[in-house]
Structure 1
Amino acid sequence: MARRRTAEMVAAGALGVALALTVLATGTLDRVSCATLAVACAEEGPAARRLPQPRRLSPQEAALSGAYIALGDSFSSGEGVYDETERPIDAGAGLCHRSRGSYVPQIAGSLRFAGGASFWACAGATTVHLLKGQHGHKPQISRVGPAASLVTVSIGGNDAGFTDVLKECILRLPWSDGCTEQEAVVRRRVAGMTPNLRQVLLEIRRRAPEARIIVLGYPRPFPAAPADRVDNLTPDDQRWVNRMARFLNDASREVVAEVDRAIATFGGPGSAEFVDAYDAFDGHEIGRGSPYMNALDVDVEQLKVYSRSYHPTAGGYRRLGELVAAQISAGPGRPLNNLLLP
């Protein structure tokens, strides 16, 4: 009798497994469960079974959903319009020459970021400074946290040594090649900068995995076809400086694109985007009327070269702000995987 009862139990179990597989395959599990166990019972019809779906955020929605963090060098800090006589914008602004005239306050004031905005760019910063610190301040990268939805940064010009390059160009004897003969050095410096830029972007990504990262390139300082000597620079010198700015921008663009491809390949949220500012000052270069970049500014009596030299003017920072605002709206040129959950 016991053996007969055991056989019946095994047969019933096998029948149950077969029935379960059948209802899974035919999609009738919900109906069986509702009829026998009073679970999974719902109204009939497609609308009743449709679950709430997450919505993909637009580029601007993704950027504004959290905090805006502004990092970078003097082209972000506002060096070109920094005024030592004005009240500093914040406690560290004096050493870093952060100015209200930079594009950063323009962006922060014209858009409403859910998590607010903070401004940490510092004149003279290199990629290493972003990672390790500068003037005794915490590293700029440490200001980035998971609440960040937008991070802007301009970096690389100091790694390439453009300040020293321009000094050499300006101070050389008029008949020498002391300007253009620096090309090999500049190219080596830029090649050394690219791994650091990649590390900066990946570290921002690690700290703010859903943020859009916008890297702002550098404008060419001189006309595309210069005709006259400017600040002891011949037209050939000016064209060469422009080419070096393009070389730096192209190297940065490649690194940014590489990081963004990795984000897109794995379907991650956020992005890495490059803003090409090379022609941004077209018609307003040094040597033209209403320039968007300061020419060499020297106090002859004190033999002092002002740091605003070869940095954007107020009009230049407004133009850079327009480019960044347009990029915020346009996005990376691919769908973002930033989702709004129901």
Structure 2
Amino acid sequence: MTRYVALGSSMAAGPGIQPRVAGSPRPAGRSARNYAHLVAAALGLDLVDVTYSGATTAHVLTDTQRGAAPQVDALDGSESLVTVTIGGNDVGYVPMLFAAGLPRPVRRIPLLGSKIRSLVNPAERYVALEEVGAALVEVGRTLRQRAPRATVLFVDYLTLLPPAGPASPLSDHDATLGRHLALELERLTAQAAATTGCGLVRAGAASRDHHGWSPDPWTTRFGWPVPRRPAPLHPNAAGMRAVADLVVAAASG
């Protein structure tokens, strides 16, 4: 068996890392050099990449996204490898960081301001965290059922923020919330992997010294999107290579 199906959100898709997968939906932000493509090349696997920027656990399991079928529909039971990076959009992790990086007067703009205030509200983020754990477990169970002969790997999120200290333009309060979301997502992903008999690739732990503010970043900092450049607060090419190496090691072990 050589079939490899890659599932997940933008952290797996790699928006802005050139080149884009030919023929893929532009909103998916699917890079031909995301970790799935690098893993497939390294292991000689036939890749089916259905990663899609903005995806939630519901898009993996049951919901369509911009006309794309639920991602699990790509599984046919013949897979040797399945990877999934998901959960951040359920809790508003990167959206929260984007909102926090905007000038504070923006929070007073009608409608937009209320959305931003909601994203940076710790109480609302904590409620979302309480809900995502069960969703991640359901992802693991479903992948094990739909791909019973495959190695199924949860791949958690690369570290975006410095472990401590400033992360301009974020305030200390907002950076602290962002770090909490990241660490809880790691914990819940690990818990889901253990509960469902899936493997775990600890990209977050491996990238502690490679956050976006470090001398050797694997992710990008806050900023405005620039065409043909890695998306802000997302993996860069070096980060995708690093995650690919971790996945290859896990799949080969």
Question: TM-score, normalised to structure 1's length?
Answer: 0.64
Distance 2:209 2:16 in 1: 19
Unaligned runs of 5+ in 2: 108-116
The structural deviation recorded for 1:106 is 0.4
1:206-225 to 2 correspondence within 5 Å? 206-225=145-164
- The answer for the alignment partner of 1:188 in structure 2 is 127
Distance 1:162 1:282 in 2: 17
- The answer for the alignment partner of 2:113 in structure 1 is none
Contact kept, 8 Å, 1:80 with 1:310, in 2: the verdict is no
1:69 maps onto 2:69 in alignment: no
- The answer for the alignment partner of 1:105 in structure 2 is 37
- The answer for the alignment partner of 2:216 in structure 1 is 290
Q: 1:90 to 1:203 in 2, by over 3 A?
A: farther
Q: 1:218 to 1:299 in 2, by over 3 A?
A: closer
1:208-239 CA distances to partner (integer Å, 9 max, x unpaired)? 1111110011122122232x441x21345434
- The answer for the alignment partner of 2:142 in structure 1 is 203
1:46-195 to 2 correspondence within 5 Å? 65-81=1-17, 83=18, 88-113=20-45, 116-131=46-61, 132-171=63-102, 173=104, 182-195=121-134
1:318 maps onto 2:241 in alignment: yes
Contact kept, 8 Å, 2:96 with 2:119, in 1: the verdict is no
1:328 maps onto 2:243 in alignment: no
SS at match of 2:189: helix
Distance 1:68 1:274 in 2: 16
SS at match of 2:137: helix
1:249 maps onto 2:172 in alignment: no
**Percentage identity across paired residues of the two chains:** 28
Q: 1:137 to 1:288 in 2, by over 3 A?
A: same
Distance 2:243 2:33 in 1: 11
**Aligned CA-pair RMSD:** 2.6
What letter corresponds to residue 275 of structure 1 in structure 2? V
Contact kept, 8 Å, 1:125 with 1:155, in 2: the verdict is yes
SS at match of 2:136: helix
Distance 1:252 1:224 in 2: 19
Distance 1:307 1:110 in 2: 23
1:281-314 CA distances to partner (integer Å, 9 max, x unpaired)? 23322222232111122279xxx9x981100111
Contact kept, 8 Å, 1:216 with 1:274, in 2: the verdict is yes
Distance 1:157 1:225 in 2: 21
Answer with 1 or 2: which has the greater Rg: 1
Q: 1:278 to 1:299 in 2, by over 3 A?
A: closer
- The answer for the alignment partner of 2:200 in structure 1 is 274
Contact kept, 8 Å, 1:73 with 1:125, in 2: the verdict is yes
Distance 2:2 2:230 in 1: 34
The structural deviation recorded for 1:75 is 0.9
Distance 2:190 2:121 in 1: 23
Distance 1:192 1:180 in 2: 16
Distance 1:217 1:296 in 2: 20
Distance 1:209 1:287 in 2: 40
Distance 1:203 1:179 in 2: 31
SS at match of 1:159: helix
Unaligned runs of 5+ in 1: 1-64, 261-271, 331-342
Question: TM-score, normalised to structure 2's length?
Answer: 0.85
What letter corresponds to residue 129 of structure 1 in structure 2? H
